[in-house]
Amino acid sequence: MSTSSSFATASAVTPVTIVENAATPTTTASPAAKHGLKVATYNVDQLNDAKWEFITKKFLLCAEPVHLLFLTETKRQPPELTNWFKQVKTNYDWIINSHNPTRYHGVSLLYSKSLSVENIENIIKEQIQDCPVRSDCNDKKGSAAIGRIVGVSVNQSFFLVGMYVPNAGHQEPAKLEYRTKRWDPAVYKLLNHLKTMKPVLWLGDLNIAPSEEDVTHPSEMKQYGGFTKEERENFSTFLSTPISTVTSTSTTTDMKSSDGKSPHSKKQWVDVFRHMYPNAVQYTWRGRIPKQNNKTKNNMIRRQMRLDHMIASHDLVPHVRFIEIDSEPELSDHCPLVLQIDL
């Protein structure tokens, strides 16, 4: 049975969060206890039948299914999404956070019934209440989390916060100001608050390319949303939050990256992919392939960025076993990102 939550007021056209069986989470021992917990995030750029078929075969109905799958930019009404999700209802429950209008954003989380999951919607709304909704949302009095954030406590071990971060860029100054002056401070406050209680995994399309290694053409793409100086400085400052400034009851364990380097042991937050693969050149967003014309060969090269991430609090990093970007599917302009964590 599905129930509506209070991300927005109920009406025929208003976005709602649907929680499938979340009020009575199962307590069966998770397969993660023996085989690790698999987590994936994928910006689907509007879900459709072809993309759902790929998702089920790749992540849900396969030999090694994921335990948690966060989808961004679903761009569908809850009934449409439910029609797809109920195909895997034997193994999964889900949370839907739609947007009004649906052509923008929308996020969903599917989670294995083997997990004990608690929705933390109320904590999220309270912590980001100082951030207004962006102008493209019709529910002006709603929460900024509408269509953008789903957060849960998993097995009472850690928080998972899935997010579709507002895009910006110098071409649209109002959006850039909203992102850097309102959204970022509110979200960083939320994450640091959650960290005082237990470890945190922050994931999704975070619309940030942290460094020049994360874009194909750094000098030409400085105006792109996600690669502006302002956005990158905010993100870098957040990742550099000293451990001492955020109190937590959890303990830490050292872990080395794949090249043998020591971890970000004095920083509260870690970009897991860059931590494990400091020199890797991989992207999660692919721009459209330019049409043939008389421009220079350089302008014919596809622009790409690493915008989708798994950001972990430092005490979660030692438990990460692998992280990978799946660049094969061309169904969306984004690539899936998969992580395995042992807890």
Q: Which helix (H) or strand (E) holds 95?
A: strand 92-97
pLDDT, residue 289, reads: 58
Contact 204, 308 (CB under 8 A): yes
Quick: pLDDT tens for 150-175.
999 999 999 999 999 999 988 889 99
Query: Of 56-70, 124-138, 244-258, 298-312, which has the strongest mean pLDDT?
Result: 56-70
Provide, rounded to the nearest whole percent, the portion of the chain with pLDDT above 90: 69
Determine the pLDDT at residue 293: 52
Model's pTM, two decimal places? 0.85
Overall size of the chain counted in residues: 343
pLDDT at 2: 36
| Element of type H or E holding 186 | helix 184-195
The CATH architecture annotation of domain 35-341 reads: 4-Layer Sandwich (3.60)
- What is the per-residue pLDDT for 102? 84
How far apart (Å, rounded) are the C-alpha atoms in residues 200 and 341? 12
Q: Tell me, what's the pLDDT at 26? A: 32
Cβ–Cβ contacts within 10 Å for residue 299, how many?
12
Q: What is the DSSP letter of 291?
A: P
What is the per-residue pLDDT for 299? 52
What is the C-alpha separation between 1 and 253, in angstroms, rounded?
41
pLDDT in tens, 177-187: 999 999 999 99
For residue 57, give every residue at least 6 positions away whose Cβ sits within 8 Å of its Cβ, in sequence order, or none. Answer: none
Nearest C-alpha neighbor of 107 from the set 168, 152, 61, 64 = 152
Relative to beta strand 117-119, strand 149-154 is antiparallel
Answer whether residue 274 shows pLDDT above 60.
Answer: yes
- Pick the closest to residue 204 from 73, 62, 63, 97 (CA basis): 73
Domain ranges of the chain: 35-341
pLDDT score, position 329: 79
The count of other CB atoms within 10 Å of the CB of residue 83 is 12
**To the nearest whole number, what is the mean pLDDT of the chain?**
84
Cβ neighbours for 66, distance < 8 A, ≥ 6 positions apart: 38, 39, 40, 59, 60, 112, 338
pLDDT level of residue 101 (50, 70, 90 thresholds): confident
| pLDDT top residue among 136 and 29 | 136
pLDDT band at 191 (very low <50, low <70, confident <90, very high): very high
Ramachandran assignment for 263, one of left (phi > 0), alpha (psi -120 to 50 degrees), beta (any other): beta
- Tokens for 62, please give them: 């396969």
- Give the DSSP letter of residue 168: -
Strand partners, 313: 269
**pLDDT for 212-267, tens place per residue?**
999 999 999 999 999 999 999 999 999 998 886 665 554 434 434 444 444 445 78
Return the residue matching tokens 């207004």: 132
